[in-house]
A and B are shown apart, each in its own frame.
Chain A
Amino acid sequence: MEPFDVLIVGAGVVGCALARELARYRLRVGVVDREADVAEGTSKANSAIVHTGFDAKPGSLESRLVRRGHALWTELAPALHVTLERPGALVVAVSDDQLAALEALRDNGRRNGVTDLRVLSREEVLRREPALTCDVRGGLDVPGESIIDPFAAVIAQAENAAAAGVEFFLGEPVQELRAQPDRYCAVTPRQTLEARWLVDAAGLWSDEIAGLAGWREVRVTPRKGEFVVFDKPARRLVHHILLPVPTKISKGILIAPTVFGNLLLGPTAVDGTDKTDLSLTADGFSTLLRAGRRFLPALQHEAIVATYVGLRAVGAGSDYGIEVDGARRLVVISGIRSTGLTASPAIAEEVVTRLRDAGLVLRPNPGYRPDRPAPAWRPGHPRPCADPDRVARAPAYGRVVCLCESVSEGEILDAMRSPLPARTLDGIKKRTWAMAGRCQAYYCTADLLVLLARQRGVPLASITKRGVGSELTTGPTRTAGGTR
């Protein structure tokens, strides 16, 4: 088989954005990921904010790409039908030191080209956010900060790429990379994928992939970020993203509305060594609740619906690491720490520019379309089950499977038939928001299992939460046919 022109290792937001950017050209592009779905790494567990970059280090690559990413998302989101809302952020100062830091923060923002920042008085902050603690001393208004559907941000870019011919290989870890004079051979348990150019977009594991490719040492360590999600009634408490005054180490624990209508609290920032440690700690949990109540005392009466943990890929330096080696035909992307969701389309642009400079021939792909068909539902829009016309045309939209989020069988079937079909329960959840409501799959687990198994024509016991090893059940009962 002809080798791929470009093979991307890693189907996170960075890999998928790059795949989409490359799909504009007449190239054979592949994306390989060890997980069963796209967006299974850091890209599914972040704060879901499209940053303006006001607090970035001026002059850094990160600052430039976050700015550009913010601008790109404004066009990309409507074209790809990804929900993006712009509540704006308030940086909230609760001490005199923090109050003093606001002006410096504003000036920093100006240096990054974010010019619409304004320092607000205590009264102004409390007028806008009456539920905030009365310890507020002042705030900084950052009107451009936005929230996004972080799953669709990846899935839509990937689907768009897939529709334009990019091939995805999911559930296939790259275990070995052989560098030959004119190509790389990426060995997975299922096959060997050959490619002229190799892109390492493996996030936390970019060090490992770089090592396999014979590249010089890259260092990536995980920094844990834990989150708590509050049930929908809590969303009424805030109108903006509430940010603490950042410290050198971290952006701090924020409170943000989500496009799904919840309220998000997090993340913590704990350096670790285990890149697979996605456990919420008791300490982290209480740190979050304490920080949340400090800002918003009323949070203590609100119900929690979920918790999750993400790991930031912390590189050796403080900036993004993007290296394109023309001689080796290798791209290594690393250290995309805590702004990669925002910057991903800009990172993709940057990499493609540098690839062209390094000799990759780019001819436009005449069949490429920059948009994707609208899904039956996306966050912030009414569900199809409430639309008489749609239910009349397709009765499956009237069969509600997930009660809490009003997700219909029709939407679930759509998710299983899309260009990058959902094959796992988590895949369904990311695309439809089924199981993500207040009951956390109490009512719908069994129905969803049946739907997935029927649609895929496999036994129930091979349906997984997120790929092999996460099967939901272990086969028919001893007394199948009666369990009395």
Chain B
Amino acid sequence: MPAPVQDVAAVIVGAGPAGLGAAARLARCGLGPIVVLDREAQPGGLPAQSEHHGFGLRRYKRPLRGFDYAARLASAATRAGVDVRLQTTVLRVTPDRTVLTTSAGGVLGYRARVVILATGCREAPRPLRSAAGTRPAGIYNTAVVHRLLGLLHERPGRRAVVVGSEDVGLMAVRLLERSGTRVAAVIEELPYLLGYRVNLLYSVIPFRVPVLLGHAVVGIVGHRRVEGVDVRALSTGQVTRIPCDTVVFSGRFLPESGLAREAEVALDPRTGGPIVDQHYRTSIPGIFACGNVLHGAESSDTAFDEGVRCGEAAAAYAAGRLADVESVWCEGCGHVAAIVPQRLTPGARGIVRLLVRPDAPLAGVTISARCDGKRIGGAWRPWAMPHRASTVLLRLPLVPRGGRLQIDMRGHIRGPRYASAAPFDALPPQRSGAFQAAQTAGDGG
């Protein structure tokens, strides 16, 4: 028996901020049924699983709790007439915009005029970060820790090492400590703290957890359960073993682009996500993408705003108002590691936002957009970090047809900062004993 197929105006995969933002916007255009699909039991994507404050600052002018923010987005979408279908997994999207789904209710296909991929991102797993050593129990990502603690109220271990100093890593320290798992250290390969200093002050320092900057995990030991991690100080080469029963790999977000790849949407090797233009069109007509699936983790506001713009463009496309004009590549120079959107379609009025990520932590950053050598826009920033995009606004009428568009990023690579916020002898003995080469956190971006 073939799966039954429903005809709808639009299918949005993923009920996170991006997907819900796009859906609510599309629903206001009266195109017909708009369906949002998500595998989770709650709408809202990542925020729906987060208890902490800090979501939707731009949109609601105050930091909301993750699940409150998620609930607001979901009810706004539902009020706009969006059909949100949960506990439904999208198995496949085909280039002809058929979406195959499964749920306890059955296998169901959708044929849509527009498909929007808003599948978010996930943290890089251990094999991509530190393969050496054994494979015992007790190796997690922060997302797993969140689920264990937040949903199941179950402790992942007794003594953890957190790898990575992005905000998620720092926040995991607080979460673990508050629930009774000691954190032995936060390990960061770069000589800088990646997360915001406020998270260091709020989530790490109160628990007197050392942050070892310029240190790399070179091996995991333990037969059945983790027994320790071997950490190398990159400045001296010295390797120390930190005893622990849990290792939490945090951050280094990768777009969840499996569906896009299988749909034969062209991917950008630099981001790992689909290549889009400023209308969030992918390489396949009628398939759009927005949110963290494009670039890895950015704030919920960024994902939501992208969703809204994507919804607008998708509505225009469905109404036949989005012309197919030859687009130009945004070519990166200098310290540019990745740009989203990768392509710009010239001609239209208005302003586009480019998200630009550098290949190294930079200070005194100038970003400039040049067309055939002529400067057409740019920005200055005191600093820029590889895991977080800087935004540049470009006035579209200045973007050339068929010309060469270059985005250049310059700045000083920031030198190591090993400030001693908490000298080692001041740490409780069980924490300081194992490693002397350690340094405590410096200044974040």
A391 at the interface (CB under 8 A from B): yes
Residue-wise, chain A 371-402 has the 8 Å CB interface mask toward B (1 for contact) of 00000000000000111110110011011100
Cross-chain contact A385 with B91 (CB below 8 angstroms): yes
Note all chain B residues with C-beta closer than 8 A to A440: 125-127
Cross-chain contact A301 with B51 (CB below 8 angstroms): no
Cross-chain contact A285 with B132 (CB below 8 angstroms): yes
Note all chain A residues with C-beta closer than 8 A to B144: 441-442, 445-446
B3 at the interface (CB under 8 A from A): yes
Cross-chain contact B258 with A478 (CB below 8 angstroms): no
Note all chain B residues with C-beta closer than 8 A to A364: none
Task: Compute how far the CA of A175 lies from the CA of B198 in the bound complex, rounded to whole angstroms.
Answer: 56
- CB contact list, B120-166 vs A, under 8 A: 122-123, 125-128, 131-138, 140-141, 143-144, 147-158
Task: Compute how far the CA of A439 lies from the CA of B272 in the bound complex, rounded to whole angstroms.
Answer: 14
Cross-chain contact B102 with A307 (CB below 8 angstroms): no
Q: Which residue of B lies closest to A408 (CB)?
A: B102
B221 at the interface (CB under 8 A from A): yes
Task: Compute how far the CA of A306 lies from the CA of B126 in the bound complex, rounded to whole angstroms.
Answer: 8
- Of A389, A395, A400, A481, the residue contacting B39 (CB under 8 A) is A400
Cross-chain contact A279 with B102 (CB below 8 angstroms): no
Assess A469 versus B224: contact at CB under 8 Å? Given A301-B269, A460-B152: yes
Cross-chain contact A308 with B132 (CB below 8 angstroms): no
B261 at the interface (CB under 8 A from A): yes
Task: Compute how far the CA of A449 lies from the CA of B145 in the bound complex, rounded to whole angstroms.
Answer: 13
A361 at the interface (CB under 8 A from B): no
Which bracket fits the contact residues of A? 35 or more
Task: Compute how far the CA of A36 lies from the CA of B106 in the bound complex, rounded to whole angstroms.
Answer: 35
Note all chain B residues with C-beta closer than 8 A to A450: 152
Task: Compute how far the CA of A475 lies from the CA of B152 in the bound complex, rounded to whole angstroms.
Answer: 10
Q: Which residue of B lies closest to A482 (CB)?
A: B153
Cross-chain contact A391 with B122 (CB below 8 angstroms): no
Note all chain A residues with C-beta closer than 8 A to B152: 446, 449-450, 460, 473
Cross-chain contact B224 with A465 (CB below 8 angstroms): yes
Minimum distance in angstroms from A411 CB to a CB of chain B: 13
Stretch at the interface among B175-183, B322-330, B406-414, B425-433: B175-183
Q: Which residue of B lies closest to A406 (CB)?
A: B91
Cross-chain contact A391 with B106 (CB below 8 angstroms): yes
Chain B: interface residue total (CB-CB under 8 A)? 62
A360 at the interface (CB under 8 A from B): no
Minimum distance in angstroms from A281 CB to a CB of chain B: 6
Residue-wise, chain A 272-307 has the 8 Å CB interface mask toward B (1 for contact) of 000010111110010000000000000001011111
Q: Which residue of B lies closest to A395 (CB)?
A: B104
A127 at the interface (CB under 8 A from B): no
Q: Which residue of B lies closest to A477 (CB)?
A: B179
- Of B100, B132, B137, B269, the residue contacting A281 (CB under 8 A) is B132
Cross-chain contact B137 with A465 (CB below 8 angstroms): yes
Task: Compute how far the CA of A468 lies from the CA of B127 in the bound complex, rounded to whole angstroms.
Answer: 24
Note all chain B residues with C-beta closer than 8 A to A442: 122-123, 125, 141, 143-144
Cross-chain contact A471 with B107 (CB below 8 angstroms): no
Note all chain A residues with C-beta closer than 8 A to B219: 279, 282
Cross-chain contact A305 with B153 (CB below 8 angstroms): no
Minimum distance in angstroms from B296 CB to a CB of chain A: 14
Q: Which residue of A lies closest to B156 (CB)?
A: A473
Note all chain A residues with C-beta closer than 8 A to B157: 473-474
Q: Which residue of A lies closest to B175 (CB)?
A: A483
Cross-chain contact B224 with A282 (CB below 8 angstroms): no
Cross-chain contact A483 with B178 (CB below 8 angstroms): yes
- Of B127, B158, B261, B269, the residue contacting A474 (CB under 8 A) is B158
Q: Which residue of A lies closest to B52 (CB)?
A: A484
Cross-chain contact B155 with A398 (CB below 8 angstroms): no
Cross-chain contact B179 with A388 (CB below 8 angstroms): no
Q: Which residue of B lies closest to A288 (CB)?
A: B131
- Of A467, A477, A484, the residue contacting B155 (CB under 8 A) is A477
A403 at the interface (CB under 8 A from B): yes
Q: Which residue of A lies closest to B2 (CB)?
A: A388
- Of B104, B143, B224, the residue contacting A398 (CB under 8 A) is B104
A78 at the interface (CB under 8 A from B): no
Q: Which residue of B lies closest to A461 (CB)?
A: B154
Note all chain A residues with C-beta closer than 8 A to B87: 399
Note all chain B residues with C-beta closer than 8 A to A439: 122, 125
Cross-chain contact A279 with B224 (CB below 8 angstroms): no
Residue-wise, chain B 1-22 has the 8 Å CB interface mask toward A (1 for contact) of 1111000000000000000000
Cross-chain contact B148 with A480 (CB below 8 angstroms): no
Cross-chain contact A305 with B154 (CB below 8 angstroms): no
A438 at the interface (CB under 8 A from B): yes
Query: What are 6 A-B contacts defined by CB distance under 8 Å?
Result: A303-B128, A387-B107, A476-B155, A477-B180, A482-B153, A483-B153
Given contacts A280-B131, A465-B224, A474-B157, 9 further A-B contacts (CB under 8 A): A279-B221, A306-B127, A385-B91, A395-B105, A408-B102, A440-B126, A442-B122, A464-B137, A473-B152
